Structure 1
Amino acid sequence: MQQRRVGRSGLTVSSLGLGTMTWGRDTDEHEAAAQLAAFVRAGGTLIDTAASYGDGDAEELIGSLIDETVDREDLVLVSKAGVRTRRTGGSSVVDASRGTLLDTLDASLVRLNTDHLDLWLVQHPDPTTPLEETVSALELAVSSGRTRYVGLSNYPAWTTARAATLLEVSGTGLAAVEVEYSLLQRGIERELLPAAHGLGTGVLAWSALGRGVLTGKYRRSVPADARAASPHLRGFVEPYLNDRGHGVVEAVATAADGLGRSPLEVALAWVRDAPGVSSAVLGARTAAQLRGALAADDLVLPAPIRRVLDEVTAVDVGYPERF
């Protein structure tokens, strides 16, 4: 698997990343171990998680596998903070305050069985906390050695640029942004991708398979074991189970038929090789599903097919992005 620099930083990651959103909940320890082993054997290094995944269960599961299944030195550990669960009621709340971020980071390190992260991200914009305070937590995390690099996830372009400016002053730098990007969601092309390029910030693309829809599994029905049939993930998938999504899936399936590959491989190769993308992050329920995704590693889309997929899924870009 290809290894790539994250923007202009010194951080190197695999071109495909392993997402762990379902670990500890839908993916048990045996499947997780099998996935991790298969991923590392294929040359993968980037493991993406968050303190909010399973309320810490995903991180704890990863921590239990480090040194037993794989060596810590073979991994690029990425985790996120800034979304916490209320003690009463159990609902999630965005909180990117300095205290919450650093407390969450310390807890993540314990669960992950490591003394540092390779990349630490703020998971979601917090309109109630000044950006300067959030950035100060990122600076302290690097200066204290708890993480090697920092970044943002799901932030708009203007906030990303402002954070990068603040981090540049201290010499910390904004290494990466992690954002949703797939043939079903290309909104980052309006402003965020150009901003990241200008800032020298790498892009990690989460849900590179369109929340699983681009695998083609929902073309005719919703399988009983699919995410869209799960009570806690149904709402995550449903936004793409519409007429537009169906049209995109059919275009991907047509391209896949012509290449003798699967829709999953075509969709994943498109994101992986999109300009500016350092790594395409995907999640799998089982090791067998993951191995199917890893089969896309040798696929390079012919220029005519990429061009057609670009045209079919293009986002509307107008004023003031294009004047």
Structure 2
Amino acid sequence: MDCRRLGEAGPVVSRVAFGNSLTAGNQLADDSAVACVRAALEAGITTFDTADVYSDGRAEEVLGAALSTVPRDRVVICTKVGRGAGGGAGGLAPERIRSCLDASLKRLGTDYLDLYQAHLYDDATPLEETMRGFAEAVAAGKVRAVGVSEWAADELAEGARLAREMGVPLVSNQPQYNMLWRVIEREVIPACEPLGIGQVVWSPLAGGVLSGKYRPGAALPEGSRAVAAKGGDNSLRRWKFLQDDTLERVQRLRPLAAEAGLTLPQLALAWTLHHPTVTSAVIGASSPAQIAGNLKALDVALEPDLLVAVDEVLADSVVRDPDLTLSRMLRRPRQA
């Protein structure tokens, strides 16, 4: 497994990370979720991403149990704090960061986190206070590096400025990024590059849509994330990935993938990793077999003609509007 430094001062992470947002404690029974983590380890994945809000903390517990027999210095453990506060005060206040961090460490069965990420932006707390909370966690030795998730470009720039002043290693952003969802390209990536902030992207397969298993006009397949995972259907519909036109265009990618000797999931993952600012891509899995199959994408160099053909097929199904960065979307007033 190829590994790279995350940002200028972050941990060395595997090019593919394993995440459990809709699997552990949700779509999968604990033994199946643990089997997926072990398959990821066997495949050479060293980096594991979760959050305290996933399945109300159960996802962290399952991950901690699965990694309990692995030497701590051989894995990179990343989790998040903030989301789930309902937008109210205290989401990323120092005292909440402090209490949530201790709870996460306990569930994960570790003394420190390699990466602690702000899960969305908290408008109710001054950013100086949020960064102070992270600085305290770093000074206490409980956190090695800090990241954020789904922040807009202006939020990232101000957060990085404060981090430098407080001596906090702010090294990463975790946005959604895939062939269909490219909202970070216009503003977020240009903002991050001079700041030394790397991208650890989630949903490289667009929640499974880019695997081709969702067919236009057909019922959602049994056992799929959209059916078996609590919240899976809602998340896919939120991003409009399940529209028939989009699903039809995804099916038209099959011959392009086959011509390159790839499956659709492999093409999607290879496309995401092809972007030079993507340090790592977070994948999930509902079975151990999915992991080994998808990781074949690591050995692929996509030809320029193939990249052009992908864009031509997907055309206006690709979402590029930077205002759809999640932190901005959630701040919009709801329509009456």
Structure 2 length as normaliser, TM-score? 0.87
Partners of 1:252 and 1:267 within 8 A in 2: no
2:325 equivalent in structure 1: none
Distance 1:248 1:115, change over 3 A: farther
**Shift of residue 62, structure 1, vs aligned partner:** 1.2
2:99 equivalent in structure 1: 103
Distance 1:298 1:72, change over 3 A: same
Partners in 1 of 2:17 and 2:115 — Cα distance? 13
Partners of 1:183 and 1:248 within 8 A in 2: no
1:187 equivalent in structure 2: 183
Deviation by residue 1:95-129 (Cα, 9 ceiling, x = unmatched): 11211122111100000000000000010111111
2:332 equivalent in structure 1: none
In the alignment, structure 1 residue 218 sits paired with structure 2 residue 219: no
Distance 1:11 1:244, change over 3 A: farther
Deviation by residue 1:7-30 (Cα, 9 ceiling, x = unmatched): 212421000010111212222222
Partners of 2:150 and 2:176 within 8 A in 1: yes
1:176 equivalent in structure 2: 172
Q: For 1:117-266, list aligned pairs within 5 A.
A: 117-220=113-216, 221=218, 222-230=220-228, 232-238=231-237, 239-266=240-267
Deviates more, 1:239-248 or 1:113-122: 239-248
Partners in 2 of 1:317 and 1:241 — Cα distance? 19
1:88 equivalent in structure 2: none
Distance 1:229 1:198, change over 3 A: same
Partners of 1:212 and 1:237 within 8 A in 2: no
Partners in 1 of 2:154 and 2:234 — Cα distance? 28
Amino acid paired to 1:305: L
1:89 equivalent in structure 2: none
1:304 equivalent in structure 2: 305
Partners in 1 of 2:194 and 2:252 — Cα distance? 32
Amino acid paired to 1:235: N
Partners of 2:10 and 2:169 within 8 A in 1: no
The root-mean-square deviation of aligned C-alpha atoms, in Å, is 1.9
Q: For 1:35-46, list aligned pairs within 5 A.
A: 35-46=36-47
Partners of 1:206 and 1:281 within 8 A in 2: yes
Deviation by residue 1:132-163 (Cα, 9 ceiling, x = unmatched): 11111111111111110001101101001000
Amino acid paired to 2:49: D
Deviation by residue 1:193-214 (Cα, 9 ceiling, x = unmatched): 1111111101000111111110
Unmatched 5+ stretches in structure 2: 323-336
1:321 equivalent in structure 2: none
Identical counterparts, % of pairs: 37
Amino acid paired to 1:177: N
**Shift of residue 81, structure 1, vs aligned partner:** 0.3
Partners of 2:82 and 2:118 within 8 A in 1: yes
Q: Look up the SS of the partner of 1:78 in the other structure.
A: strand
**Shift of residue 310, structure 1, vs aligned partner:** 4.1
2:271 equivalent in structure 1: 270
Q: Look up the SS of the partner of 1:180 in the other structure.
A: coil
Partners in 2 of 1:31 and 1:287 — Cα distance? 8
2:53 equivalent in structure 1: 52
Unmatched 5+ stretches in structure 1: 86-91, 319-323
Partners of 1:7 and 1:175 within 8 A in 2: yes
Partners in 2 of 1:234 and 1:159 — Cα distance? 29
1:113 equivalent in structure 2: 109
